[in-house]
Amino acid sequence: MPKKTPFSYQSLAKELPSLFSARRKNLRSSIIKLKESKLCLFSPVKGLNNELLASIEALGEPSFILAPNHYHHAAIVEYVEQFPQAMLCAPEFAIPRLNKMTGLEFSNLDVFIKHLPKNVSVLSPEGLKTGEIWLKVVDNTKTAWLVVDAFSGPSTPDSGLYENQVELLKTFPRYGVKNLAEYQAWVAEQLLSDLPQFLVPCHGAPIYSDNLVDQLQKVMDTGFK
């Protein structure tokens, strides 16, 4: 039986030194290192205990708390109380619902984007209705996609290792997609442009595969029927 991974931010792979992740049950949050030891907390997960807090502080100072769509807000208040200096940010489309659901004020991504290092960029999928954005991280010739609800990994006990099979979150086609043809076309083009090898979803295990592009395209071709 694999050893249970503690609920703290861990390095995902030596090839990705600017990316860290923490998993609680089937939910995953990520940290992206920015400039000057600043951090972005990407879709934080509820349960900010001492162990998790220590792992964040060991990496740097949270400057941004990013809600990457209008559903991922359950832990936001908890993190704002702990890191009041961090800027709350979200995609423009998601801000009205996030403000209403949390009672907080979110900013758009303009300031966040200005603080991104050259190896990190924001991807804005077309054809969705939740305001979902992804992040692309490129380290040492390896490319990782951080996604939210669009894809998922296996719901297996976390051994700290990557899985190798992409899944589609069952609720996503109904609750996430507005224009399927537009979304499929955008993903196909972005896959050919980025050629990712790593997928870090907010649901389930992370994925590493040399044929990740083919896997993702297959999910896009068959998962929405």
DSSP string, 174-222: HHTBS-HHHHHHHHHHHHHHH--SEEE-SBS--EE-TTHHHHHHHHHHH
- pLDDT for the residue numbered 164: 81
Average pLDDT over residues 178-185: 96
What is the pLDDT confidence band of residue 116, given thresholds at 50, 70 and 90?
very high
The closest alpha carbon to 143, from 4, 15, 12, belongs to 15
Which is more confidently placed, 36 or 117?
Answer: 117
Which is more confidently placed, 1 or 175?
Answer: 175
- pLDDT for the residue numbered 2: 44
Tens-digit pLDDT profile for residues 192-222: 999 999 999 999 999 999 999 999 999 999 9
- pLDDT for the residue numbered 35: 85
